Structure 1
Amino acid sequence: MGYGKNLSRRVKDVEISVPIVYGTIAFWLGRKVTESQSHRWTIYVRGGTNEDLSVVVKRVVFQLHPSFNNPIRVVDSPPFELSECGWGEFEIAISLYFHSDAGDRKLDVFHHLKLYPLEQNGPQSTKKPVVMETYDEVVFPDPSEQFLARVQNHPAVVVPRLPAGLELPSSASTEERRGSMKDHPLGHWFMNFSEADELLKLAAARQQVVAII
């Protein structure tokens, strides 16, 4: 039997994990702008250390407040982000859709847009933004051989030691793809997350993607 016919087989007792960060960076635009356009903000989903997630993520859908024009925004290519202007804080629903070899699955998360600092000492600054980010980990249990072969050496993906005797074809280039957030213009505001600390927090509760019905 040719190897190509076996790529859809599941690899038991293996978990692929993908560290992700989702959040917002909001800048106050100063006193000269209108009250309804007081802030410019960007919401995004990035790799745990800013890698391009398109090896796993097919598209991201952001659902904004209904007061925005076209509140449901679809981003089909990296970087998975969008920017807007406004004055109010609200909850943004984020849906991550994964490639078909990951099982046609998606993950829904929620992020609260924060425009104003929690502790205000003096006037608000136009130079220092308000940054709110959440670290999480998407887990793919028992992945298909095709998915595992494609992502096994990608920097955005954590693959454990493979079962003895499992042979996979050579993976694609491990160079970071276009859309990586390593050189993002807002990258110096991104938070750094300690992997050891976060792994301890995630040991009790890890996000598992759910199948689309």
Structure 2
Amino acid sequence: MHEDRFPGHKFLPYILIAPSIAVIFIFLIGPFGQSIYESFFVSTPFGTRTIYVGLRNYIRLFSSPDYLNSIVATFKFAAFVIIIGLSISLAIAQLLNQKIRGMGFYQVALIWTYAISPTIAGVIWASMFAPATGLIPYIVSKLYGGYTLNWMTNGQLALFIVAAAATWKMLGYNIIFFLAGLQNVPNEFLEAAQIDGASPWKAFWRITFPMLSPTT
């Protein structure tokens, strides 16, 4: 027998989600569709006339070496943040899930990065890597006999630093989710695996990691 969760208000769920759907259409789907439409045209310098050019803009775009390099850089950035960032976050969350004295302090100390605003995080990293006054270039120059670390003139180094900063900024956020998932793994499963002679590494990949998927 079908149970009506909203007796007498059949359209209530649709009314409740209508504002969110309206915002999505107005500020996301609408501008996206307009951008796709206008990409097939070229405007005169003062915008008084538009000329239909078909796929010419896309051909020019994908023929540009700078644009292709930006795609490669984007994939490198995403791979670093996703693979390295999530791996580090999961490892730290696994450590925080242990019963160690003073663990509450360590949890707060490692999660606070997410509470920092992106602007402040950018200032911190820019200050650390400032070529003339930054702490990191100073340490590198002392260790490598006056070598000057200037990431502003090295594209690959700049990409690495930006990816590292993004990973650090989201570290606390990822740790929270991984820690929540780890705390939902029943200890009985891990104890049974230990009794059966499974190593901690094997128990992690066979039990803990698969059970993290609902949370992460």
User: Structures share a fold, TM > 0.5?
Assistant: no
Structure showing the higher helix proportion among its residues: 2
Larger radius of gyration: 2
TM-score tier by shorter-chain length is under 0.3
Structure showing the higher strand proportion among its residues: 1
TM-score by length of 2: 0.22
Higher relative contact order (CA 8 A, sep 6+): 1
TM-score by length of 1: 0.22
